[in-house]
């Protein structure tokens, strides 16, 4: 830790269950006229610095799950493999999801969870339950993520919320300030920060392999049939594409590169500009479906977002990030994890991870040496087990294990409330820029200046590393 601190200081001195949707930011005037003030954080004080905060240890982490659809069920399943975890409660309005979870718990030899259902605000009772320490939130994205997070923290619970943590600038500030006032963690479950290659490049960056980081590319390019009916007819992906025009899913690509650049921990996101294409595909497809299916009539409009959004971010230290979003065009999946420094570069997607020290990629033998030399401790510790358990190649399980291990050992969060706010706020800010002919917008400093002295994320595993895995 002392070595990390010296390196960090050297860097500084050298440079620093309502489950529906609510009409959102697309409407004129929906972002407050106070945007500039909010973005700068003028007049806002930091009640407590949650970056590096060590909450009291929890020998047993007692969990309540709000939303147990695809992501919620997956998160819960991964928790069943961890010692020191008790699944106390589940909340959802869909009965077959509840039945599936109880069946899973019985199969794993664990007690059934207490069930909260029957109304769209049943989630409040989960938050109020005194026998719960951590609330897992995996309801459809939108205002509910922030609403439930705030309520849970006010009820004395830590929060693990799916991406994005917030949907508006005001929500971001509220989540940050409530976390500070309650001293409860608001951890955003950005699983891509635990991708093996992303972790490798983070460790390499920490050890100076790339030199000074200059630029990064990041993206969420994922061809999805977002117009297809879901089992419960909850079309939140389609509804969001109808209501918002900007980068709707920034955190998968942005999170890992922000950690590499020590954003909120030595540098900060400063301002951005964003541009969207027209919609050439989604509206046409929905119109075709509406001709033969009454269900799609309400979605047959001309208000769909552009098929691809490109945003450019500049940091306080003068680094740049190119961020893209595209879930409609027929492109190969890519997060375009690309790091460019003064000594070297790295890139993954759509090709496997590659490293460069010049004009050529390193060959397989050289890559094997790199992997051996810079493999992160968390991958050494549980990487093989994570791949067996699964979840996006194992990164989901790495994330779950690390979250619980930090809570059980009273360690700071790898992804704290300032990260959750800064990475997620790109959604409304990109929309604001797009709606104003790509004019630059400031990105709020949610740390209110503390980024200058906050420590980088500790990936050493010198502390903690006590949570065992059961098969």
Q: Report pLDDT for 38.
A: 42
Q: Report pLDDT for 32.
A: 32
- Give the distance, in angstroms, between the CA of residue 165 and the centroid of all CA atoms in the same chain: 7
Distances in Å between the Cα of 367 and the Cα atoms of 64, 149, 178, 348 are 42, 42, 45, 13
What's the pLDDT tens digit per position in 21-67? 222 222 333 333 333 434 455 579 999 999 999 999 999 999 999 99
Domains in the chain, start-ordered, CATH in brackets? 2-16+192-380+417-452 (3.30.360.10), 35-189 (3.40.50.720)
Q: Report pLDDT for 43.
A: 73
Distances in Å between the Cα of 411 and the Cα atoms of 53, 54, 183, 223, 405 are 7, 5, 13, 38, 8
Q: Report pLDDT for 13.
A: 33
Q: Report pLDDT for 230.
A: 84
Q: Is the model more confident about 2 or about 288?
A: 288
Chain mean pLDDT for the chain: 91
DSSP secondary structure of 286-322: HHHHHTT-GGGGGG-SS-PPPS-EEEEEEETTS-EEE
Q: Report pLDDT for 141.
A: 86
What's the pLDDT tens digit per position in 108-157? 999 999 999 999 899 999 999 999 999 999 998 889 999 999 999 999 99
Beta strands in 327-435 (DSSP E): 337-341, 345-348, 354-356
Q: Please name the residues in contact with 288: beta carbons below 8 A apart, sequence gap of 6 or more.
A: none
Q: Report pLDDT for 198.
A: 98
Checking if the pLDDT of 6 tops 90, the result is no
pTM attached to this predicted model:
0.91
- In 3D space, the residue among 6, 125, 426, 42 whose CA is nearest the CA of residue 254 turns out to be 426
Q: What is the C-alpha to C-alpha distance for residues 318 and 321, in angstroms, rounded to an integer? A: 10
What's the pLDDT tens digit per position in 357-369? 999 999 999 999 9
Checking if the pLDDT of 9 tops 80, the result is no
């Amino acid at each position: 830790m002392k070595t990390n601190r010296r390196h960090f200081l050297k860097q500084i001195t050298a440079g620093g269950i309502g489950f529906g949707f609510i009409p959102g930011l697309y409407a004129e005037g929906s972002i407050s006229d106070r945007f500039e003030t909010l973005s700068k954080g003028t007049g806002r004080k930091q009640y407590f610095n949650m970056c590096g905060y060590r909450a009291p240890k929890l020998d047993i982490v007692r969990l309540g799950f709000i939303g147990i659809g695809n992501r919620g069920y997956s998160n819960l399943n991964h928790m069943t493999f961890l010692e020191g975890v008790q699944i106390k409660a589940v909340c959802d309005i869909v009965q077959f999801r509840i039945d599936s979870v109880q069946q899973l718990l019985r199969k794993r030899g664990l007690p059934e969870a207490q069930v909260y259902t029957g109304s769209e605000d049943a989630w409040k009772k989960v938050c109020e339950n005194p026998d719960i320490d951590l609330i897992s939130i995996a309801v459809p994205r939108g205002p509910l993520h922030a609403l439930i997070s705030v309520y849970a923290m006010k009820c004395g619970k830590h929060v693990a919320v799916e991406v994005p943590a917030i949907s508006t600038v005001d929500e971001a500030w509220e989540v940050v300030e409530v976390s500070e006032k309650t001293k409860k963690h608001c951890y955003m479950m950005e699983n891509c920060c635990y991708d093996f290659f992303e972790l490798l490049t983070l460790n390499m960056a920490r050890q100076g392999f790339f030199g000074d980081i200059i630029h990064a590319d990041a993206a969420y390019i994922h061809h999805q049939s977002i117009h297809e009916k879901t089992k419960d007819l909850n079309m939140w992906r389609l509804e969001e594409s109808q209501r918002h025009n900007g980068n709707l899913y920034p955190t998968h690509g942005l999170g890992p590169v922000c950690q590499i650049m020590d954003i909120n921990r030595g540098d900060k996101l400063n301002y951005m500009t964003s541009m969207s294409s027209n919609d050439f595909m989604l509206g046409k497809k929905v119109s075709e479906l509406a001709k033969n299916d009454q269900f799609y009539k309400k979605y047959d409009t001309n208000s769909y977002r552009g098929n691809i959004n490109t945003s450019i971010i500049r940091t306080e230290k003068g680094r740049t990030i190119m961020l893209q979003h595209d879930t409609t065009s027929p492109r190969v999946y890519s997060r375009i994890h690309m790091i460019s420094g003064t000594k070297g570069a790295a890139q993954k997607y759509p090709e496997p991870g590659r490293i460069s020290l010049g004009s050529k990629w390193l060959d397989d033998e050289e890559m094997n040496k790199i992997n051996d030399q810079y493999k992160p401790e968390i991958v050494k510790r549980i990487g093989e087990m994570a791949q067996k358990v699964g979840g996006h190649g194992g990164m989901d399980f790495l994330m779950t294990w690390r979250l619980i291990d930090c809570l059980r050992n009273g360690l700071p969060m790898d992804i704290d409330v300032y990260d959750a706010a800064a990475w997620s706020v790109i959604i409304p800010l990109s929309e604001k820029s797009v709606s104003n002919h790509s004019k630059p917008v400031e990105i709020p400093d949610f740390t209110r200046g503390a980024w200058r002295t906050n420590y980088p994320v500790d990936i050493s595993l010198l502390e903690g590393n006590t949570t065992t895995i059961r098969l």
